[in-house]
Structure 1
C-alpha cells in the first residue's frame, strides 16, 4: 500500500489518556463487529470528518483526517470490508533514529490492505483495533513489546491501557453498563444525524439496534466532563484543551461497512469558554 505523505506528530504531554472504543464481537451475526468510538484530541488540532482524503488509496478508503500529520484516527474500506481505529497509549519510549512516524498511518494500512504492524514499530505507543468479517483483533505497542490478540466474542472496552483495563476509571464505571445493554446487531442509523450532544440524542431516539448503547453513552454525559469516569470529556491538560471531538458508530459485515459520524467539538469549545469565564 502506498504510504500517505505524513509528518511526525508533535510531542504529547506525559501520561495523556485519550479516546474510548466500545466493541462488540458476534461472529454468527450478520454484522459480526460493531464499535462505538469517542475521539479525544487537543481542541486546537485541525481535522476533517470522514471522507476519501487520501487520493493514493482511492475512494474505497475513507477516514477521520488529521490535517496536522496527514493520517487518520479511524479508517474504513470496502472491497473487502474493514475498519480500523488507533488509540494512543501513555508510555514514553526513546525516539527512534530518524524520528517518529505518525500513528495515523496505522488505521489506513489496516483498513486498506489488512496490513498490521510487525517488528518494532516507528510510532509512539498505540493500541490498534482492526475489524473485518472474521472478527476483531487488537495490536498493541507499549514501546518495548508488540502484542497481538483476537478479541473473544462479547463486549470489550479499549482506552490508553490494556483491553478491558478496570484500572481505568471510565472502563470500571461503564463497561458493565455496555455489557448489560443489548449490543447493536445492525448498521448505525443514518437518519436524524446532527452534530453535538443533540446529535447523540437524535441517534439514540432513532429506533435502531444502537439505542441501548447510545442510552448508556447519553447517561454518561450527566457526569462533569472533567470527571475521570466521564466518557465525553473536556479538560485543560499541560496547557492545552483536550476534549471528545467526535463520536463514530461503525458496523462491519461480510461485504459492507457503515460509519456514522457526529462532531462534538462545539461541546468542547463551549466547555472551554465556560471554564475560562469561571476561572477569569
Structure 2
C-alpha cells in the first residue's frame, strides 16, 4: 500500500512538495537512490534489484534533459497483464522523467499503476487499470492531495475489492492529512544543511507520527496478510521542487521516531 502526499502552493517559495512511502514485500532486494542507469546517466532513483527499475525517479534537468521533474510509481488494482507479455512497471518513472509518452506504450503489457509526475509548476497523476481499461490523467489541485493504490483520493476507476485494504488506506489518508495540516508547510530550500532544517514539523510525522506498525492508520507499516509473507514500508522519500531546483531527502525504514536521524540528502 504505497502512498504519496503532494502539496501544491503555486505562490510559495517552494511550490511543490512530494512525500513518497514505498511499501513492498520484505526480502525484495533494492539499492538506495543513485545514478544506476548508464543509458540515462542524469536520472537518480532507488534501484529495484529484482526487475532493474525504480519506484521513484528524479531528473534534475539540464541541457540534454527535461526538468526538474520527478515521477513516483504506485501499484494499482485491476486486470493483470498476461504473464508471457508482462513488462516491469519500474521502467515507467524513468521513461516519464526523460519526457517519454506513457500513452504511446502498449499498456496492455503492464499491470495496473498510478504514476505521479511532479514539477515546480504542479503535479499530474496517470492511472492505468489494466487490460481493457483506459489511461486517465488528473491534474492535482492546489493544496494537499493523497494518492493511494486506489488512485488520487482513493477514487480511481479501478479500485480494490478488499474491504480491509480500503479501510487501511482511508485511515492512513485521514490521519496524515490532518496531521500535515496541523503544522506549518515546510520551505525546504536546496541549501538547508539537514533534513530537520529543511522539513521542520513534517519530519516526525513522516517518521510514523508515533503510530504502531500495525495501527490501521500507520504510514510506516508492517503487516502479515496470512499467506506467510510480510508486507511493510521499506523507505521514505521527501522531495521539494522549486525555482532553485530539487531537494531530495531519503530514509530507509525504520526511521528514528523524532525524525532527526536516518535521513540523507540525495545529491542531484
Report the TM-score when normalising by structure 2.
0.79
Q: Answer yes or no: is 1:73 the counterpart of 2:55.
A: yes
Whether the 8 Å contact between 1:177 and 1:216 is mirrored in structure 2 is: yes
Could you say which residue in structure 1 is the equivalent of 2:25? Answer: 42
2:70 to 66, 83, 88: 83
TM-score (norm 1): 0.76
For these two proteins, the number of residue pairs brought into alignment is 234
Partner residue, 1:134? 121
Task: Tell me the residue number matched to 1:235.
Answer: 223
Secondary structure of 2:36's counterpart equals coil
- Is the Cα contact below 8 Å between 2:77 and 2:149 reproduced in 1? yes
Q: Which residue of 2 aligns with 1:174?
A: 176
1:47-94 deviation per Cα after TM superposition (whole angstroms, max 9, x unaligned): 010101000001x10101101001011000122211110011233x14
Q: Distance in 1 between the 2:51 and 2:11 partners?
A: 38
Root-mean-square deviation (Å): 2.4
Q: Give CA-to-partner distance per residue, 1:105-163, whole Å, 9 cap, x none.
A: 11111112253345661211111101112211001112223110111111111121131
Partner secondary structure for residue 55 of structure 2: strand
Structure 2, unaligned runs of 5 or more: 62-66, 156-165, 257-268
Tell me the distance in 2 between the aligned counterparts of 1:97 and 1:52.
Answer: 30
Please, which of 94, 106, 113 is the counterpart of residue 108 of structure 1?
A: 94
Unaligned runs of 5+ in 1: 1-17, 193-202, 268-280
2:16·2:240 contact (CA, 8 Å) conserved in 1? Answer: yes
Give, in whole Å, the separation in 2 of the partners of 1:182 and 1:114: 35
- Preserved CA contact (<8 Å) 2:117 2:123: yes
Task: Find the aligned partners of 2:253 and 2:145 in 1 and give their Cα distance.
Answer: 23
- Displacement of 1:97: 7.5
Alpha-carbon distance, 1:216 to partner: 2.6
Task: For 1:162 and 1:244, locate their aligned partners in 2 and report how far apart those are by CA, in whole Å.
Answer: 19
